[in-house]
Chain A
Amino acid sequence: MTWMLFVEDDPDDAFLIGRALERAGVTASFAFAGSAREALARLEGAAAESQRLPAVTFTDLNMPGMSGFDLLRRMREHAVLRVLPVVVLSSSSSPRDLREACEAGANAYMVKPVALDEFAAMLGAAERFWTRCNRTVQR
């Protein structure tokens, strides 16, 4: 079963993401992690027990404790998690954040839009692309 992981510490944004996915008609299941540390523990646990890994992981950047940048770097150092696609989903449009995210190993960078339909379209497109890629790799 294909699933997606969202790393988001802000309940408002988690709520908006849920509604945007609904609108986009995304059929894949998804899960939320409230912090980068929780997400890393979950991913490392899944990798260690050979459970199904998410087709794509979306992460926020600015989170207390471990940041989205730190999560990306830790994933790229991991033997299994290093190949997982990660999309940064941030409210920051700062070129510095974009550059640092790319250097840390992000596959794509999305700025959270105001319009919910736009958000739904972006998440839907990202989900379809990375799920398809993932299936191709697995075949």
Chain B
Amino acid sequence: MHPHCLLRSPDELPCGLLAVDEEDRIVAANRTVEALVGAAPLAGRRFYECLSAASRIFCQTHVMPLVRLEGAAEELHLALRRHDGSDVPVLANAVHRGAGTPPHTLFALLPAVRRRRFEQELVEARRAAEEALRSNAALTAARDRLEAHATELDRNLARLAQRNQELATITRMLFHDLGEQIRKIGSFAELARTDGDAAPAVARIGAGAARAQALIDTLRRYATFADEHEPVTLVCLDELVADAREAATQRRGAFALEAGALPAVQGRRSQLALLFEQLLDNAAKYRDPAQPLVVRLDAATVGGNAFRMMVDRYRRGDFVRITMTDNGLGFERAARPAFELLARKPGESTIAHVGLAMCKRVVDNHGGSIAIDSAPGAGTTVTLMLPLQPESGDGRLAEGSATR
């Protein structure tokens, strides 16, 4: 058999063939089409009766004019209306033939039931993917908001804890230390009234009143030294340390300072200046007379938890860790913590006591921490942790412009 003979039987082809004349009437249809539509014979019926409503409009307005004009149309998505009223999706190619035969349009129809299902599945899958993306974006946004709220909460908790501590310190100074001065003034006043010689008691009343005044001055200095509105700038710690060393040298005499390179941090310049002035002044003040004072400053960038109060949360933040070690006298751990504001004892300077309490406030204001380790005869080591990036969002330590 000649290979072409294999194609001579249109009824056996696995695609539908349909010829439609110029009146849109079916002139011939193979069995494949008749099987698809579920009706036979199709010849003589109106072509449009075999189409779904949508395909009918599509063919009338687009397909037939196009085929007759252009001679062919490809990959047409049509739906045949079956005898039972259901639709069968088909993919159609059409050609217009006018030469040699009565003009007609020949359709080749391929059932596309599975393809349509695949397409629908694809559309569904795409819709589901888009929905998932939207949900995921919403989840990511919610997580970001949650994280921002947690950071804000932690910052507020830290600020409240700091305020509470400051208030407790001020209250203790008022009730205990100032109260003690007033008690003594009262006792000496009674002594002055009842003793024959009032002069010694009166002198002590004067001294007590002066101490009470000094306490109030201390409190005022502690309560007001930090300007909350000072802008945050990029502060070069090298320069602050150099200035602080000069001030301490002028006040307490020369000493050796071994300092590696210190980084620049975002912070409030005047507060950070005060911090290093106090620390170097303390080191110079409590030097060991038996040996020359050597102060060593080392800095390293380390990772730490940006959360300060919420112990169950962690977000890595970059900190600069500065350790200041001296070979001075050192001190014994006092009954009160080193960073508490201490009352002035007679004959003592208030500066060291107020100084360490203020150092802690400065570090707290910057979202960092300070620790002190010392023992008599073993020198003192102060460890500072200052965040490289400022806190932001509440104006407390907002982004600032670099000025130095």
- Please list the residues of chain A having a beta carbon within 8 angstroms of any beta carbon in chain B: 9-13, 15-16, 19, 61-67, 69-70, 91-92, 94, 112-117, 119
Contact = CB atoms under 8 A, between A and B. Distances in A.
Among A10, A11, A61, A64, which residue has the most Cβ atoms of chain B within 10 A?
Answer: A64
B10 to A, nearest CB: 107
B176 A92 contact: yes
A116 B179 contact: no
A65 B332 contact: yes
Given A10-B346, A91-B180, A116 B194 contact: yes
A12 B346 contact: yes
B183 A114 contact: yes
Contact of A16 (B179, B184, B334): B184
Contact of B191 (A10, A19, A62, A65): A19
Contacts of A116: 187, 190-191, 194
Given A62-B335, A70-B335, A91-B176, A9 B345 contact: yes
Nearest to B172: A94
B184 A64 contact: no
Nearest to A9: B345
A70 to B, nearest CB: 7
B201 to A, nearest CB: 9
Interface string B314-342: 00000000000000000010111000000
Nearest to B335: A67
Contact of B204 (A12, A62, A119): A12
Contacts of B204: 12, 15
B335 A63 contact: yes
Interface residues of B, number: 20
Given A10-B346, A91-B176, A91-B180, A16 B335 contact: no
A68 to B, nearest CB: 8
A112 B335 contact: no
B345 A65 contact: no
A54 B176 CA distance: 30
Contacts of B395: none
A9 B334 CA distance: 14
Main SS of chain B's interface residues?
helix
A119 B332 CA distance: 33
Contact of B187 (A9, A62, A69, A115): A115
B215 to A, nearest CB: 14
Contacts of A16: 184, 187-188, 191
A52 B271 CA distance: 56
Nearest to A69: B335
Contacts of A91: 176, 179-180, 183
B184 A13 contact: yes
Contacts of B191: 16, 19, 116
A7 to B, nearest CB: 13
Contacts of A113: 183
B186 interface: yes
B208 interface: yes
A115 B184 contact: no
Contacts of A11: 346
A16 B181 CA distance: 13
A117 B183 CA distance: 14
Contacts of B335: 61-64, 66-67, 69-70
B63 to A, nearest CB: 95
A10 B188 CA distance: 14
A15 B188 CA distance: 10
B172 to A, nearest CB: 9
A39 to B, nearest CB: 15
Given A64-B345, A114-B187, A12 B208 contact: yes
B106 to A, nearest CB: 104
Given A65-B334, A114-B186, 15 more contacts: A12-B346, A15-B204, A16-B184, A16-B187, A16-B191, A62-B335, A63-B335, A64-B335, A66-B332, A91-B180, A92-B176, A114-B183, A116-B187, A116-B191, A117-B190
Interface string B276-308: 000000000000000000000000000000000
Contacts of B176: 91-92, 94
Nearest to A94: B176
Nearest to A70: B335
B118 to A, nearest CB: 78
Interface in B178-222: 179-180, 183-184, 186-188, 190-191, 194, 204, 207-208
